[in-house]
Chain A
Amino acid sequence: MDQVYVLGLLVVFAGVLIGFYALMRERDDLHRILLTDLAEILALALIALVATDLAEALILPGLVVGISELLAVSEVYLAKEDLRTPPTAPPFRIEVMESAPGIMALILVAYGIILSGFTGGAVAAVGAIFYFLCRGQNEQFAIIETVSGYAWVFWIGAFFIFMLLPAYWFFAVMIAGGAILVKVMAKMSLIGTMRGGEHV
């Protein structure tokens, strides 16, 4: 093991000690959620220290799982504290919260398409979920489900190409990558609409 890895491990473990000490002493639930986000950063730093392609392969799903978990935990918190209805006069008004969702969702979906595959689908879906959460929705979900079904068929078709026409493997990889992207995205977008109603 080289010096870089040892130093990095020391720093991260010192951070873990500080973070968990703070988490242990905290009594307020929302403060705890914020500290959970801190713990996630530490976990990612631990993985990043591996410093190979393996680290990247582990960080990407870790990020996606982390954001899904944060979305879920924050919804649970809002339900538990009976804060489902938006306040009539928010304590502070942030302009970006109203104008950004569309732009950020667009960037995430575009980046997800470039990444492709499972992670790409998940990143694009985070964009879609986020948009639905901020804006409310009235889309036709039957159509999204149909698209998702066709994507699944394309995915299976790509595997038939792998087996029967191995010479066209690159074509099959492209089909499979694109199809799983659409599939994961369609399924995960439903999360953003679970709560129903407008201006969720």
Chain B
Amino acid sequence: MSMAMSPEFLLGCAVLLIGITGTAFPRPRSYVSRLISLEIPAFGLLLIMLSFDETLALLTFIAVTAIATFVLVRVIERRGSV
């Protein structure tokens, strides 16, 4: 466990907060823009995992996020409105 604050951790925290704010209040307020904003906090989480050397969690998160994006795009497509 790294006691000193690593740059990855600080950057991850910043990206996470920015991403959450962006996803919570997207502009324009459409499904696709919110879906794209969702990738930003995910990237912040990846950086935090990287700073703690959580390799398996990181790889699995990448795989699962890709699927989640596909599932959500499919629902938005069916819904008909962007």
Minimum CB–CB distance for A80 against chain B, Å: 11
- Bound Cα distance A35, B19 (Å): 12
Interchain CB contact under 8 A, B54 and A59: yes
Chain B, Cβ-Cβ closest to A4: B5
Interchain CB contact under 8 A, B9 and A67: no
Interchain CB contact under 8 A, B72 and A33: yes
Of the candidate stretches A12-20, A137-145, A151-159, A175-183, the one touching chain B is A12-20
User: Interface size for chain B: under 10, 10 to 19, 20 to 34, or 35 or more residues?
Assistant: 35 or more
Chain A 58-74 near chain B by CB (<8 Å), digits 1 or 0: 01100110110011001
Chain A 17-60 near chain B by CB (<8 Å), digits 1 or 0: 01101100000001101110110011011001101100110011
Interchain CB contact under 8 A, A108 and B67: yes
Interchain CB contact under 8 A, A74 and B71: yes
Interchain CB contact under 8 A, A34 and B31: yes
**Chain A interface mostly:** helix
CB of A104 closer than 8 Å to a CB of B: yes
With most chain A CB atoms within 10 A of its CB, the pick from B4, B56, B63, B74 is B63
Residues of B within 8 A of A49 (CB): 48, 52
Of B4, B45, B70, the contact of A100 (CB 8 Å cutoff): B70
Of B34, B63, B70, B72, the contact of A123 (CB 8 Å cutoff): B63
Minimum CB–CB distance for B41 against chain A, Å: 5
With A34-B38, A67-B68, A91-B81 already in contact, the answer to whether A97 and B20 are too (CB < 8 A) is no
16 A-B residue pairings within 8 Å (CB atoms):
A4-B2, A15-B41, A18-B20, A30-B31, A34-B34, A35-B23, A38-B38, A38-B41, A41-B41, A59-B60, A60-B56, A74-B71, A90-B77, A104-B70, A111-B63, A115-B56
What are the 4 closest A-B residue pairs judged by CB atoms, nearest first? A22-B24, A51-B52, A59-B57, A83-B78
Could you tell me which A residues sit within 8 Å of B by CB distance?
2-4, 7-8, 11-12, 14-15, 18-19, 21-22, 30-31, 33-35, 37-38, 41-42, 44-45, 48-49, 51-52, 55-56, 59-60, 63-64, 66-67, 70-71, 74, 77-78, 81, 83, 86-87, 90-92, 94, 97, 100-101, 104, 107-108, 111, 115, 119, 123, 126, 130, 133-134
